[in-house]
Structure 1
Amino acid sequence: MNKLNQREVQNLGFLLNFPFHWTGMQRRTSKRVWETRYVVKKMRIPEATVMRLAVYSRLLENLQKRDIVTTSSGDIAEGAGVSPAQVRKDLAYFGEFGTRGVGYNVEELCGHVRRILGLNQKWPSVLVGAGKLGSALALYEGFNIRGFHIVGVFDVDPNPIGNRFGSIKVLPMEHLERVIKKENVRIGIITVPAVAAQEVGERLVKAGVKAILNFSPHVINLPADIIVRNVDFSLHLEVLAFNLTFELTECEDVGV
């Protein structure tokens, strides 16, 4: 299982503007309200935990929309496809939440999880590569809903230059650095051909981007303080093919 080491956790905290160095648990203030301070001990946080937190966030938001006031680790676990113990373990990385015998206040826990994930703020992002995949991503409303606003789309090909995705116009690459600086962009999305991915990644980093979502089939290598997620759709299809071949419902060891 991939895990985030302490340095990567600190980098993730910088990206999310979340104080991972804080210590202390929930405590009463003089105004008799709970002040939450999240805890991340000096330990390795599984990457899968962060992914599950994103799932929990969506589940809690759906509960809010249904005006459900309290929930339990069992309810969350059922929706996320994990065990109640796993839910409690994931949340325990960041502090103590809920009340034994009562459960979790949905609104409060949703707020905590969103803050942990950095979803309590807006994230201006740029996208490089205005081809078919880039165009689809630029038009995807889900990014805006989650707080990730694409403020610039760029390409080296003159053909898509000037095209619009809503209010965003495709610009030539020479405008990249200016937009990143002006909009305080820290997230870059790469949807260029494999041969150009490394160069684009390096240029984004040089311009000030701190995290990159790379949809190119080429795995890019950047400095250790840059957060990179390489997304190759064909890899997921190959995993599905493997599972179908061995008639599995999830990845597991196959005795061969």
Structure 2
Amino acid sequence: MSLKGKTAIVTGSNSGIGLGVAREMARAGADVVLNSFTDRDEDHKLAEELAAEFGVSARYIQADMSKGADCRALIETAGRCDILVNNAGIQHVAPIEDFPVDKWDAIIAINLTSAFHTTAAALPMMRKAGWGRVINIASAHGLTASPYKSAYISAKHGIVGMTKTVALETAKEPITANAICPGYVLTPLVEAQIPDTAKKYDMTEEEVKEKVILERQPSKEFATVEQIGGTAVFLCSDAAVQITGTTISVDGGWTAL
């Protein structure tokens, strides 16, 4: 399919899942806006490389997703938003009684509240254009839970709920809202943790992948950023016009357990 003429804004997209989604959007012909909280030469170079590789317009806009004004300014600065991918997120692991309040506040702000602000700013643009897609990157932890991740799981459950609300508010318009719920995805960050985890548990790297990281993922295989990006592109296709207000799990069977 072709997304030529559409503009996709992907939050938290200078690495990992966000960059993978942005690449697949560009591959499908969409103009792309990359984003993160940094403002480095390499961030802007990423956009230049995407533009050169796929023959689309691509630019990088710095915005701190912990700040509501920045979230809205990202959309306004972009000037157009046909496809909004709310991907920005952080994580912290601790028992709830020891969970640092500042970490809770930051995770809720970046993982959940940012999507409220960007969506509120983007919907008028989508309505004016007569077409729109809101795609929220939730998690298997938006549908189930694990101990010690109270803020992350609360935020991801919240993202799923907000997705449903946006879908209902736009149900009679050519706009859809859906959430993708990945399991464990092989990002550079995860990949870098494997050797240290292997040393810690005196395991091979393959044992770490299967018995530690992918313990709850029945396929025992990571999802890839390309697969998450491909799912996002599918949600922009004509085949997905009547898919709205739902979740799509890309988790190797995790939430089937």
Structure 1 and Structure 2 fold alike (TM over 0.5): no
**Higher RCO by CA contacts (8 Å cutoff, separation 6 or greater):** 2
**Structure holding more helix per residue:** 2
TM bucket (normalised to shorter chain) is under 0.3
TM-score normalised per structure 2: 0.26
TM-score normalised per structure 1: 0.26
Q: Which has the larger radius of gyration?
A: 1
